[in-house]
């Protein structure tokens, strides 16, 4: 089964606490897992932030139920069903949906700011079926995807030699050596013997990574013969580490060949991964806005004022 959406967590949560006892959030999660048959693999699936997806969804479901007045927190981290909650489950919990929660003023106020009190006939017009964290992550993913497309357009416009220099700059930003060690990292335009760049694998220059950088059409597929040629170039240098970076893609055969237990270790980076690395390490891009997502500091409220 797939991980339940946070709006699908309302009913199981209410089932878990229907006996009127106090439960910690951790206890609710464990009861929820058993009731919903959540697998260990599903428990381990993470948001980009590193938080387990199912924990995030249960957390938001608890927030929404609290805003609707169906549950309360009599003390920190402890959940309890309210009288309103008891009334809501008299005929079962299956009917507890977003539409059901909409009947409560407190819940609607939670979603409508004081500056904009326009009413909505359908709560789904206001609320997505993904948790707010997931909506933020998805929006960031869309922005980065669009940015990656723009990056690729710019990358294909520069000269092949400048592309080689760009790749080396990226590796330096990623911590391979330092600018001082890698002043001459890009090899000469001719007579490079199949090697486009050489960078140290650490800041002290103890080891070396040999680079092949190919600025090809994004729709082109780099095949096994090209990787074999690169392996030959590495052998000619007595090298043990090689990095093949391209704006194109790699064929299945090329990937399989690179993954073999060869004398030289070859890592493949295609155009999509190249753009993602440039975004991650701020090469060719700049930050225009920073949004901070904050959570309650429970330790603060445990201290004496």
pLDDT digits (tens, 9 = 90+) for 134-145: 888 888 887 888
**27-31, 180-184, 295-299: the lowest-pLDDT one:** 180-184
Contacting residues for 69 by C-beta, under 8 A, at least 6 apart: 82, 84, 85, 104, 106, 107
Distance between CA atoms of residues 137 and 63, nearest Å: 19
Distance between CA atoms of residues 233 and 222, nearest Å: 17
Residue 189 pLDDT exceeds 60: no
**% of residues, the chain, pLDDT over 90:** 44
Reported as type and span, the H/E element at residue 161 is helix 160-173
Angle subtended at Cα 87 by Cα 86 and Cα 90, rounded to the nearest 5 degrees: 90
Reported as type and span, the H/E element at residue 75 is strand 71-75
pLDDT digits (tens, 9 = 90+) for 278-300: 999 999 998 877 777 777 665 66
Band of pLDDT at residue 10, cut at 50, 70 and 90: very high
How is residue 139 written in tokens?
A: 């929006």
- Model pLDDT, residue 263: 77
Residue 170 pLDDT exceeds 50: yes
**23-37, 101-115, 167-181, 182-196: the lowest-pLDDT one:** 182-196
Residue written as tokens 């990095």? 243
Whole-model pTM? Answer: 0.64
Query: How many angstroms separate the most distant Cα atoms in the chain?
Result: 82
Closest CA to 138 of 153, 128, 123: 128
pLDDT digits (tens, 9 = 90+) for 41-91: 999 998 877 889 999 899 989 989 999 999 998 887 789 999 999 999 998
Q: Is 211 helix (H, G, I), strand (E, B) or coil?
A: strand
């Amino acid at each position: 089964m797939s991980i339940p959406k946070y709006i699908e967590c309302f009913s199981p949560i209410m089932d878990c606490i229907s006996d009127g006892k106090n439960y910690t959030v951790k206890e609710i999660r464990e009861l929820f897992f058993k009731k919903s048959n959540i697998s260990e693999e599903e428990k381990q699936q993470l948001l980009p932030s590193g938080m387990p997806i199912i924990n995030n969804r249960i957390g938001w479901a608890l927030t929404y139920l609290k805003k609707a007045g169906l549950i309360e927190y009599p003390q920190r981290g402890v959940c309890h069903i309210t009288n309103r909650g008891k009334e809501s489950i008299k005929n079962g919990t299956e009917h507890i949906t977003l539409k059901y929660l909409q009947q409560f003023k407190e819940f609607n106020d939670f979603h409508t700011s004081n500056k904009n009190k326009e009413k909505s006939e359908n709560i789904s017009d206001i609320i997505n079926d993904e948790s707010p964290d997931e909506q933020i992550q998805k929006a960031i993913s869309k922005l980065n995807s669009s940015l990656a497309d723009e990056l690729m357009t710019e990358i294909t416009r520069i000269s092949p030699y400048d592309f080689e220099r760009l790749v080396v700059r990226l590796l330096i930003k990623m911590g391979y050596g330092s600018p001082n060690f890698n002043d001459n990292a890009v090899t000469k335009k001719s007579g490079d013997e199949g090697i486009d760049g050489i960078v140290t694998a650490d800041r002290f220059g103890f080891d070396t990574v040999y680079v092949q950088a190919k600025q090809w059409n994004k729709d082109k597929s780099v095949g096994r013969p090209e990787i074999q040629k690169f392996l030959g170039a590495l052998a000619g240098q007595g090298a043990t580490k090689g990095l093949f970076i391209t704006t194109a893609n790699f064929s299945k055969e090329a990937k399989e060949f690179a993954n073999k237990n060869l004398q030289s270790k070859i890592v493949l980076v295609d155009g999509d991964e190249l753009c993602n690395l440039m975004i991650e390490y701020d090469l060719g891009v700049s930050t225009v806005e920073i949004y901070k997502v904050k959570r309650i500091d429970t330790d603060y409220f445990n201290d004496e004022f």
